[in-house]
Amino acid sequence: MTEEHATNWTTTTFRVRYAETDQMGVVYHANYFVWFEIGRTDFCRQQGFAYKEMEQQDGLYIMVAEARCRFKAPARYDDEIVVRTRLSACRKRVLVFDYEVCRGEDDEILANGQTVHVITDRDGRPRALPEKYRELFLGEGTQHRGRGEST
């Protein structure tokens, strides 16, 4: 199984909702982790499958083992947000995703981050990633490449 294999970046675009901002008018920090999940779910769709299929058909889950985010600039209400997501490592039982959160109008990187996931069964026991999903995760993504900022 491939140890380190960075895929192409996929993109997800949406607008900041008022409920995502704090009293200072900036996006509350925890929402970036929600945005990472949105990017990760869309990454799977853009690779040709729904994460829900892994759960329902194969009883496999992508459990978050580690998450980090580095904030660089604030996002504000109604900003267009672009979340770029890629798979940076695919191991037997571990997946690592990288993220870039950018403002759509000027492409400024607002935050970057990474999540580490363990493949588990319904009971939370680690399992090997089946070959069919490995191939899907490592398949061709969109043509857009991120800036390659380190996390």
- Give CA–CA dist 107/104, Å, rounded: 5
Amino acid making up residue 14: F
- Give CA–CA dist 118/34, Å, rounded: 18
| DSSP type of residue 3 | S
22, 58, 78, 121: the active-site residue: 22
Active site residue 22: yes
Q: How many CA atoms lie within 13 A of 90 on its CB side?
A: 17
* Tokens found for residue 40: 């990760």
Q: Which residues are catalytic?
A: 22
